[in-house]
Each structure stands twice: as C-alpha cells, then as structure tokens.
C-alpha cells in the first residue's frame, strides 16, 4: 500500500474525525433506506352502489377498550413548537411520547382529531337526518381505524353491525377492503393513535346522503428490544379517503336502508411492504426493504393536500 495514499492522510487518521464520518455515512444510509420505504397507495372500490327503484342491493374512540387510557378523545399536544412536515431521518424516540418530532405531534388522540361539521339541512335531507349520518360515519371510522378489537383482533362483526344489512356480506368476505388490520405479532404501544382530518356532506341520488371522509391516522408500534433509529421505524401513517353513503326511502328495500361504504382510497407511509401484500399493516422495523426511491408528497401527512399518487412497494 502506498504510504502516501489518501487513506493515510493525518486528518483521516484522527479518531474524532473517523467517528464523525461514520455517523454521517450511517445517517445518509438511513435517509436513503427510509426514502425507499415510503408507502403504498391502495385504491379500493369496496362497494359500488347500484340504485334500482324498489330493489335490494346485493352487493368508537380508539374503541371502547377496557381502559380509558386507550379511548383518546382530546388534544394532547406535549409541545407548542410547530410540528415537522415530514418524518425525520434520524431522531431519538421516547416510547412514552412516540409522536414527538413527527407530523402528528400536535394532533389529537383518536376520533377527537376528526373535524365534524355542524349538522344542517342538505338537499332533501333534514338537519336531523344529516346529524344521524355524520354520527354513523364517525362511529364507522372509529371502529374501522381505531378500535383495538378490530385493529389487533380483527373482529369484523363489530364493523358490520354498523352497516345496512345488505352491505354486511361483502365486509365479511373482504374485511381488508374496509378495515385497518394490523399484522399479528406486532403490538401497539399503550398510547392512542393520532388523527387529523374531517368530514363533508352532500346529497346524492334520491334517498342517498354521502359523507366524504379525508383523514390521516398513525399508530405507534412497540419495538420491544429491537433497535429503532427514528419514529418512522415504528409509526406507519395512513392517509384515508372514503365515501360513505346512507340510504333510505322508497328506492331501496328496508334491508338496504342504512350505511354503506362506497369507495375507499388509502396511502401508506412507513408501513412494511411485506405485510401490506398480505393486507395487513406492520411497522417498518419488521423488515428490511430496499425498493425504488419515492419523493415525499405533502398529502402523506396533510389531508388538505391532494392524495399522494406514488407507489413503491414492488410487485
């Protein structure tokens, strides 16, 4: 080896400089790997409502958990500092406050993060009918996205009980098209999920009131003894757009009156791709993944921005 080679330069032999260089290289590697593991966009046309006059259609809080600790329901900001607009590439994670230093640090717990408009008359629907529809959709979002009985134990019937009788069969056959189902073996930390977003209402066809939901929800998984390097390793974020339709009136048989999920569109950030291929949500620390690089999109964390369009889970 040439004793005058660059690797023998005195500055490069300094131990402090070597430690700094190793850390910088490691952080760069983390940044590259994280940007390659952003999320998968999943578009699901869960139910297409077909209106046929006189014919049937064949086609709550972080759950009522055993402890109020899991029920959420309030703004729990632990800092007055502005939240980051993206997940940091490298940051200390406090497992008692895992959402610090993330876009969710100032979001409310559970369903309290969802903005529900005041009920007013919409088209032919009275204020009372609109209020009922909003409440039904709110409950459906709680059960589908926040309830531990559904998330962790995959209790489908808790969701089907909220739907019109004719809508229940498809949920039982394809629960992954309606519900957030966490992968087995990856428990959550004892903190409520965080949420931000809102609902809007509009009249549809005769007998149909549509409630559009657009929100982001994030979960904090327990890493156990695993080493994590930043919040993205244990906190997948889900951007969800859904159209719920409440049906009533003479255009439907009574068995079709009630709540239907019309369309569902999801985008995942920092969720494990292997689990997503099995229609389950798992934290990034559950696997090593090197996929195509994806540029972060504002809509990953902000439901006021357009829905992200990228796709980075190969296959």
CA separation for the pair 141, 137 (Å, rounded): 6
- Domain for residue 15, yes or no? no
Backbone angles phi, psi at 199, to 5 degrees: -120, 150
- Domain for residue 72, yes or no? yes
- Domain for residue 180, yes or no? yes
Q: Are strands 114-115 and 194-203 parallel, antiparallel or unpaired?
A: parallel
Degrees to nearest 5, angle at CA 103 with 102 and 107? 110
CA separation for the pair 250, 238 (Å, rounded): 37
- Domain for residue 311, yes or no? no
- Domain for residue 21, yes or no? no
- pLDDT single digits (tens) 169-226: 999 999 999 999 999 999 999 999 999 999 999 999 999 999 999 999 999 999 999 9
Q: How confident is the model at residue 315 (pLDDT cuts 50, 70, 90)?
A: low
- Domain for residue 198, yes or no? yes
CA separation for the pair 308, 304 (Å, rounded): 12
- Domain for residue 4, yes or no? no
Q: Specify the pTM.
A: 0.80
Please give the residue range of the domain that contains residue 126.
37-300
How many domains does the chain contain in total? 1
Spell 89-113 as b/e; 16+ CB within 10 A means b: bebebeeeebbbbbbbbbbbbbbbb
- pLDDT single digits (tens) 52-107: 333 444 333 333 333 333 334 554 545 568 999 999 888 999 999 999 999 999 99
- pLDDT single digits (tens) 158-181: 999 999 999 999 999 999 999 999
Backbone angles phi, psi at 208, to 5 degrees: -125, 125
- Domain for residue 12, yes or no? no
- Is the Cβ–Cβ distance between 107 and 217 less than 8 Å? no
């Amino acid at each position: 080896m040439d004793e005058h080679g660059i690797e023998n330069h005195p500055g490069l032999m300094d131990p402090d400089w070597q430690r700094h260089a190793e850390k910088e290289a490691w952080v760069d590697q983390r940044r590259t790997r994280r940007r390659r593991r952003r999320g998968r966009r999943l578009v699901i046309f869960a139910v297409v409502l077909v209106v046929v006059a006189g014919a049937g259609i064949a086609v709550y809080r972080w759950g009522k958990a055993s402890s109020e600790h899991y029920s959420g329901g309030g703004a729990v900001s632990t800092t007055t500092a502005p939240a980051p607009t993206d997940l940091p590439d490298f940051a200390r994670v406090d497992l008692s406050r895992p959402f610090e230093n993330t876009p969710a640090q100032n979001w409310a717990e559970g369903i309290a993060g969802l903005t529900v408009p005041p009920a007013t008359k919409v088209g032919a629907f009275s204020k009372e009918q609109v209020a009922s529809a909003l409440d039904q959709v709110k409950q459906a979002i709680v059960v589908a996205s926040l309830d531990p009985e559904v998330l962790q134990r995959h209790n489908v019937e808790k969701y089907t009980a909220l739907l019109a009788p004719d809508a229940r069969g498809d949920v039982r056959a394809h629960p992954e098209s309606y519900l957030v189902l966490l992968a087995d073996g990856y428990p959550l930390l004892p903190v409520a999920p965080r949420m931000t977003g809102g609902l809007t209402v509009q009249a549809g066809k005769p007998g149909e009131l549509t409630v559009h939901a657009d929100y982001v929800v994030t979960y904090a998984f327990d890493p156990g003894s695993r080493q994590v390097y930043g919040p993205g390793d244990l906190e997948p974020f889900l951007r969800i757009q859904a159209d719920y339709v409440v049906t009533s009136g003479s255009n439907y048989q009574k068995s079709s009156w009630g709540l239907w999920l019309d369309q569902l569109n999801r985008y995942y950030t920092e969720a494990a791709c292997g689990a997503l291929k099995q229609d389950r949500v798992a934290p990034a620390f559950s696997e090593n993944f090197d996929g195509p690089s994806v540029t972060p999109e504002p809509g990953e964390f902000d439901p006021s921005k357009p829905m992200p369009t990228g796709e980075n889970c190969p296959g």
